[in-house]
Chains A and B, each alone.
Chain A
Amino acid sequence: MNNTDILSWMAWTWPTALFFVFILACLVTMSVWEYYVPGGGPRHGILRLDTTRGDRLFISLLGSAFILLAWLGFLGPPLWFGCAVCILFAIAVFLWV
């Protein structure tokens, strides 16, 4: 049994692997950021919530998931413009929330 057989039950594909690499990269980036600038950058943003940069990443990712689902539901694929909206949303969250 080789390595590909061991993981075959998980049905990996390149796009899903890249998606998880992206999530892992986000977590690593946040850890490095926290190491160099500790404290999480707490802020009272426009939603009147106390958020750290970890909270802002969570809001960005969760919000992006719903933006993409709404895009699929109302406009259908492709999702490139939806992804652009998600990036703008994440920037807005990191700047103001």
Chain B
Amino acid sequence: MYESNLPQKMPLNFSWILKMAWRDSRKNRSRLFLFISSIILGIAALVAIYSFGDNLNKDIDKQAATLIGADLAVFSNRPLSPKALKLLDSLKTLNPKISKEQSFASMILFPKSQGTRLVNVRALSGSFPYYGDLETTPISASQTFRTRTDALVDKTLMLQFNAKVGDSIKVGKVTFKIAGILNKAPGQTGLSSSVAPAVFIPLQFLEKTGLSQKGSRINYNFYYQFPESTDVNKLAKKLDAPFEKEDVNYDTIATKKENTGKSFGDLTKFLSLVGFIALLLGCIGVASSIHIYVREKINTIAVLRCLGVSSRQAFLIYIVQIVGIGFMGSIIGCILGTLIQQILPIVLKDFLPLEITSHISGFAIFQGLILGVLISLLFALLPLISIRNISPLNTLRISFAETSLFKDKLKWLVYGLILLFITSFARLQLQNWLQTLYFTAGILVAFFILYGIAALVVWLVRRFFPASWSYLWRQGLSNLFRPNNQTVILVVSIGLGTALIGTLFFVQDILISRVSLSSSNNQPNMILFDIQSTQKNAVATLTKKQGLPVIQEVPVITIKLDEINGHTAADAKKDSTLNLSKHVFSREYRTTFRDTLTNSETITAGKWLGHVKDINDTARVSIEEGYAKRFNLNVGDRLVFNVQGLPVPAIVGSLRKVDWSKVQTNFIVLFPKGVIDEAPQFNVLVTRVPNNKKSAEYQQQIVTKFPNVSVIDLALVLSVVDEILDKISFVIRFMAGFSIITGLIVLIASVMISKYQRIQESVLLRTLGASRKQIFTITSLEYFFLGAISALTGLIIALAGSWALAAFSFETAFKPDLLLIFGLFTTITSLTVFIGLFNSRGIVNRPPLEVLRKDV
């Protein structure tokens, strides 16, 4: 043997690989492009979101001043302490412009229509906002209302009560003329105006309204504009500690910028994760299509191997093709994403407190390109590594045997890389590794469950399909199982989109019916609050006079927690080992005192004592168990409450479970009788109104006679919940749409890939005497089965997910809306049939021979 004859190792010859990749793609470019188009939408979604995020950050930078409207805004939810007032007085040495505001929830009455509504009254003095405007119609109203008994009324209220500029509203005891429609105020979003529409009045008339009495829940806000030379951030740093000590909060342009950026950063990260799921779906579609592409290329690869091409060279030829097409797909995705980005500010307008520009973001495009190429390559690698195993012997006889996962270690490596990629991507979007782990594991589990259910449904349909049905039906079904079919992946991708949208609808339904349910069966449906002690009996009398029951009358006292087992907020801040949250000390608690528990409360630990033994006895308070668990409070803990300035010691006597879903007053902290009974308080009255007419009449009476009393009407809550859910679900539907459309693109690619097989089947059937109509029916039925199985898979998951949410999260019964299920099923199935038939039209309509000559 003369091994010297062994040829020298051939160089990789990359330029030849490039040339071959180009040549080999000649007749496949449109098909390759179709495969890769599955990721275009995912890339487009991500580029749109990245661009949006990029522009949002820039816009927050530019518009931060208009978000707060001042250089410094100081807030307190109680009258400022003398020390705090002194601190604010000290700022006057810096020659600022100052505006004051008191804001609170109150009822207003539209005398013309006699309509009433709970609104956010903002009584303002000074020329706030210093940056940005109160956008009003007419424009002049934003200035003229400040000195007269005029008001600016939120545009949603104006629409709701069909009010016009020049009409009047009654706020408390004072009637204001509507000087203008309030279109936008600094920091205000569409969502905030749905929940609490604003009404601006001049501060000077607040007292006359009678709404600013002691015990009213008023927020005190102060807005400062300093001369340009003032270093506001330095000033804020100096004020931080004393403000915290006096329980005063503040915002500067810098803190507002940071907080807004952070919260919208979270939004864009959430949206990008939703977009990423669409991209992953597309990638699975790509992997599935490339798998079939490689099978079709076996012969070409085998010939090349015969001619001396190494396995590495053959592998690289196709890698180059995928990278090239992936790059092109990514470019198109980036262009599409940049276009979609123009729509995002419209989609999200209700959540945004600022104007978003739609500049092209180079960084977002760069990210999209890298992501597109990388992810298409990673997922295409799975089928492409099989190329290494294609034997030249296939030129003599086709015998493509796929290596099993266990034999080919490289496949494990690729799976590992995909997992690493998903994890890294998620980590970039999420706050920490735990969230990343949950997301990645969630994605994997979701795909496995979806895949499992899809495979199960496909199997069940196949297994139990009645053999007695006509040939056309049976053929339509068996077409789904032709060799190289992509049925399961199609079911997974279309099913996932259906599941997302289905879950969304069901959850919306659950929430709405949960609120509606709580109002049925003679349950209370109206709550009156802010009733002064002196008004308590009169309000109850008026209620009874109206023929309405007084279901509950509860005194409410606002308190704070100063100490836990001798430790104060300052101790908690200094010593993290105490394991005490700052939040426990900084928040206000609304509490009541009772000697008995209500039917929505159950003691779970300790013992409830409804009375103190004597005036010197320490109160045994009851804490809601969830809150106690969250903040590490246990039975026996010694607490000191601050009741309107007075320290009141207490011991955690019991923990109790509270059913928050009932329309009644529920409390985190509950006092026994005899401790805080004499503290300043307001009262709450719970009643039930039988219908909307009675509700309107009763509210008018209350607002007219007790203008400081606010009313929460369950009908209003329902409409607000509905409106908010509508706004949120629109965004989620928009994002879920990417998954559905990706699924349909995978479907189009799949129809195209199997076109040759379809032609052969069609020709065979035509030869055997099948009419064009029969072939059309078979094709339609094939897509009907595909769409129906996908929709069914998605609906099963949506129903299971919604049931789990209803049972474990909302703790309510889940009764799915059959009409909704039917609607979703029909829509998804029809869409699949339409897309399938549209792309198969050439096969059915043209004569078989012509088709064979043209397409084969």
**Genuine A/B complex:** no
List residues of chain B with CB under 8 Å of any chain A CB. Answer: none
